[in-house]
Structure 1
Amino acid sequence: MRPLTFVDVCSGAGGLALGLEQAGFEPRLLLDDDDLAVRTLRTNRPHWNVLHTDLLDFDPAEHPVSYDVDLLAAGLPRVKSSATVGRTDSRTEVRLLEAAVYLVHAIRPRAVLIENVPGLAHSDEYQQFRDFARAELSHLGYEFSWFVVNAVDFGVPQNRKQGVLVAVERHRAKAFRPPTPTVQEPKTVGAALGPSMASRGWQDAARWAAQADRPAPTLVGGSKNRGGADLGPTGAKRTWETMGVNAHTLGDEVPGPEFLWDPELGRENMVKITAEQAALLQAFPESWAITGLKTARYRQIGQATPPPVGEALGRAFAEALDGDSAVSAAG
């Protein structure tokens, strides 16, 4: 039986693609319009077929390898919020969502996965898109699921909710079940980052890890047009402060032996999370190299789908599609 295959658009740092690979899928084609993201993908997986192009400019007829795949995956940039409605970024996001749906017409995958902010699944703000997607795809023979997953339920040390659109060919749709949590207890920031915090001899690493006894707030990478190297909006920063972390900036390296950690003295005596540690909070493997300068690396990391979420979704699709792919290929 042939392996399950996928096309991944707006691939970013590769979190979704990596998770799908871990679930047993093989990528036929990945694409992204960001040169650093493309470099990240090619650095970590030289054998992957990575195309440097904008989804809005992508013509699958020029890349026939994208046809006859099991899954079209789109982890679109997470830039929309109540604060950005009306901005250029907001309209760009809608155009990308629509482009992903139109791409289904062209390549006719057996299943579709579109991932974005939680509101994608239930918010009135996205009702027009959900209606559009249903109108475009239902007559092609797909059935829909809309649901929200939280990365913390899959071993990621971060409360990160993601809205998911799943469309599966009608005769396979009943076999699809949304993924169920893989962990009973959430992983904490301290457990995830304790070893790296101690790696340069910082004596207070264990004491800090004991205080960082909860999952991280959602990491927000921002866009190229705005958003610097900080760990998110005001509420998230306050949560980080309860863990003794200065969330207003990123660190260049983890603390050394001389660092005095005393949050009562203010931000300068709180630890700073490095971009590499942010990748750990997204549950990227330590071996996964993110390219670019600090802010650009963090932007890629913050916008990524955590690989364990991609893997859980991939396994759910595999259960619906596997054992059936040989039949569909013959048909």
Structure 2
Amino acid sequence: MSELTFVDVCSGAGGLALGLERAGFEPRLLLDEDGDACSTLRANRPQWNVLQTDLLDFDPSEHPESYDVDLLSAGLPRVKSSATVGRTDSRVEERLLEATVYLVHAIRPRAVLIENVPGLAQADEYQPFRDLAHAELTHLGYEFSWFVVNAVDFDVPQNRKQGVLVAVERHSPQVFRPPVPTVCEPRTVGEVLGASMASRGWSDASRWAAQADQPAPTLVGGSRNRGGADLGPTGAKRKWATMGVDAHTVGDEVPGPDFAWDPELGRRGMVKITIEQAALLQSFPTSWEITGRKTARYRQVGHATPPPVGEALGRAVAEALEGARAVPAAG
């Protein structure tokens, strides 16, 4: 089959790009405004062409490698929850959605993939964006799919719903079909993190893992303008507490042999999830290095598209673009 190529914007820690790589796509250009995220990408894939710039300032005419690609992908910052409506950073993030659509005019990829909050695909508050995307991309000759995927259906131990737009050129070999789940039974937090919790000799690790018998709630990276690292909003924190995890902060290391785990004591009796463990809950490989200081590292992890979701979406796009010649599924 011919090589499939892509440009990835707002690349972050590289979860979507890594998934697309596994699906048979080769990146021509990845861009992100955050220096730590760009360092992460370069540390893990020195051969990737990484550009540090704001998408709103990006001029593709200065980067000819961004033209004539099969896919424009964007795992954009999650926007416009009820807690963020009206904030300045929420409006900036909405502008990134619009800028991605306008970028299609310039580089004319064969397909477009945008991932964001689940409301992107169905909520009334996103109707203006869906109208914009429909008007601009229909004019350019693309067919649309709006849908929601849950990472837990793709072997990620986390309930993480994502709204997805895929637009494919009308003359593609096949109609695009959203990916179907790859697993029947979700993996649990205890199953995935049990070994790491025991790695410093904590004797209660297996007992903790037995209680952490469900997938994680959605990890949230948070805004660069507010606060430090924690595992999510109030509802998520309550869910973590049922698993004996203090979600108000992120740990520096896993428990040692003397740690007394007793959730009835409140936060001081609970374990903390480390950044490396959060990356496992996002299904990054253990070899994937996240660079920067603690809060910046966690933010990259929390905002990422889980690589297995990126791979599933990439294979579905590849099938539409290449027909029967789409890359085979990984064994």
1:89 aligned residue: 89
Q: How do 1:148-297 residues align onto structure 2 when only pairs under 5 Å count?
A: 148-172=148-172, 174-297=174-297
**How far has the Cα of 1:2 moved from its partner?**
2.8
Instruction: Provide the C-alpha distance between the structure 1 equivalents of 2:52 and 2:145, rounded to a whole number of angstroms.
Output: 30
Checking the alignment, whether the CA contact within 8 Å between 1:121 and 1:163 is kept in structure 2 is yes
Pairwise mapping of residues 101-140 of structure 1 onto structure 2 (< 5 A)?
101-140=101-140
| Residues 1:173 and 1:234: Cα distance change in structure 2 (over 3 Å) | farther
| AA at the equivalent of 2:270 | M
- Which residue pairs with 1:29 in the alignment? 29
**Deviation, structure 1 residue 227:** 3.8
Query: Tell me, what secondary structure is at the counterpart of 2:172?
Result: helix
Offset at residue 228 of structure 1 (A): 1.9
Query: Aligned partners of 1:23 and 1:110: how far apart in 2?
Result: 16
For the residue of structure 2 that corresponds to 1:258, the secondary structure is: coil
RMSD: 1.1
Deviation track 1:166-188 (CA, whole Å, cap 9, x = no partner) reads 10001228521100000010010
2:69 corresponding residue in structure 1: 69
1:324 offset after TM fit, Å? 8.8
Q: Is the 8 A contact 1:208 1:244 kept in 2?
A: yes
Over 3 Å counting, the alpha-carbon distance change for 1:248 and 1:177 in structure 2 is: same
* Deviation by residue 1:110-131 (Cα, 9 ceiling, x = unmatched): 0000000000000001000000
Do the aligned partners of 2:190 and 2:213 also contact (CA within 8 Å) in 1? yes
SS of the counterpart of 2:140? coil
Structure 2: distance between partners of 1:172 and 1:204: 55
Matches of 2:121 and 2:160 in 1, distance apart?
14
Does the 8 Å CA contact 2:219/2:231 hold for their aligned counterparts? yes
Q: Distance in 2 between matches of 1:188 and 1:220?
A: 18
1:186-235 CA-to-partner distances (Å, cap 9, x unmatched) read 01000110010000000000000000000000000001101421110100
Query: TM-score, normalization: structure 1?
Result: 0.96
Q: Is the 8 A contact 1:79 1:223 kept in 2?
A: no
Question: What is the Cα deviation at residue 294 of structure 1?
Answer: 1.2
Contact kept? 1:15, 1:310, Cα under 8 Å:
yes
Partner-residue secondary structure (3-state), 2:146: strand
Counterparts of 2:296 and 2:64 in 1: how far apart (Å)?
32
Number of residue pairs matched by the alignment: 325
The alpha-carbon distance between structure 1 residues 165 and 173, as it changes in their structure 2 partners (threshold 3 A), is: farther
Q: Would you say the 8 A contact 2:39–2:291 is kept in 1?
A: yes
The residue type paired with residue 158 of structure 2 is Q
Q: What is the CA–CA distance in structure 2 between the aligned matches of 1:260 and 1:79, rounded to whole Å?
A: 39
Partner of 1:328: none
Q: Is the 8 A contact 1:176 1:317 kept in 2?
A: yes
Q: Which moved more, 1:172-181 or 1:130-139?
A: 172-181
* Aligned-partner Cα distance in 1 for 2:200–2:235: 30
d(CA) in 2 for partners of 1:176, 1:16: 19
The equivalent residue for 2:328 is none
Q: Secondary structure at the match of 1:165?
A: strand
Distance 2:45 2:237 in 1: 34
1:329 is aligned to none
Question: Shift of the alpha carbon at 1:323?
Answer: 5.3
- Taking the TM superposition and a 5 Å limit, the aligned residue runs for 1:33-52 are 33-52=33-52
Secondary structure at the residue paired with 2:27? strand
Residue by residue over 1:47-83, the C-alpha shift from the partner in whole angstroms, topping out at 9 and shown as x without a partner, is 0000000000001110010101000000001143111
CA contact 1:221–1:227 (8 Å) conserved in 2? no
SS in 2 for 1:322: helix
Mapped partners of 2:169, 2:323: distance in 1: 15
CA distance in 1, matches of 2:104, 2:283: 30
Q: What secondary structure, in the 3-state scheme, does the structure 1 residue paired with 2:113 have? A: strand
Q: Aligned letter for 1:286?
A: T
Q: Secondary structure at the match of 1:185?
A: coil
Could you tell me how far apart the structure 2 residues matched to 1:304 and 1:131 are?
A: 26
**Which residues of structure 2 form unaligned runs of 5+?**
326-331
- Sequence identity percentage: 82
TM-score by length of 2: 0.96
Question: What letter is aligned with 2:275?
Answer: A
2:188 maps to a residue whose letter is: T
**Unaligned segments of structure 1, at least 5 residues:** 326-331
Amino acid at match of 2:18: L
